[in-house]
Structure formats: C-alpha cells, structure tokens
Amino acid sequence: MPHISVKLYPGRSEQQKVRLVEQIVKDVVSILECGEESISVAIKEIKPGDWAEKVYKPDILNNPDKLYKQPGYNPFE
C-alpha cells in the first residue's frame, strides 16, 4: 500500500497537480504491480523561503540512505 508524498513550490495549477498524480499512480501500478485502490498521493506546497528548512534539511540532507534521486542544487550554498 504505497503512500506517496509530493512537496513542491506553490504555483502549479490544480490541473497540473491532478495530471501529476494520475501519472504517478499509473507508474506505481505498472512498476509495483499493485491495484490503483491501494495507492494514495498527497501534495504539499512549500514556500520557496521555507524549502531549505522544511524539505531540504529534514528530507534530503538528513536522509541520504532513503534518497533514491539526489537533487542538483544545495540551497545552503
């Protein structure tokens, strides 16, 4: 039962968010061979000024063993 959490800057339209979730669900069903009914997806908007402290530091910098794709930026540089 995967739950996917997406964090992003504000400014995407509801249509873009719906399309993103639809594609994520499609790929999860295909790759993990599970039913669509077992998948949940949350989207949380994070202001750019809060990104380093609310996302980068706790989710990326402090969890390298859980990160499967490194970002190409460092907000502290």
pLDDT tens, the chain, 77 aa long: 899 999 999 999 999 999 999 999 999 999 999 999 999 999 999 999 999 999 999 999 999 999 999 999 999 88
**Cα distance between residue 67 and residue 24, in whole Å:** 17
Encode 19-48: b = buried (16+ Cβ within 10 Å), e = exposed: eebeebbeebbeeeeeeeeebebebeebee
User: Which residue matches tokens 């509801």?
Assistant: 14
Domains of the chain: 3-66 (3.30.429.10)
Indicate if 10 belongs to the active site: no
User: Model pTM?
Assistant: 0.91
Of 7, 6, 4, the closest CA to residue 31 belongs to 4
Picking from 48, 73, 50, the residue whose alpha carbon sits closest to that of residue 61 is 73
| Catalytic residue of the set 2, 48, 58, 71 | 2
What pLDDT was estimated at residue 12? 98
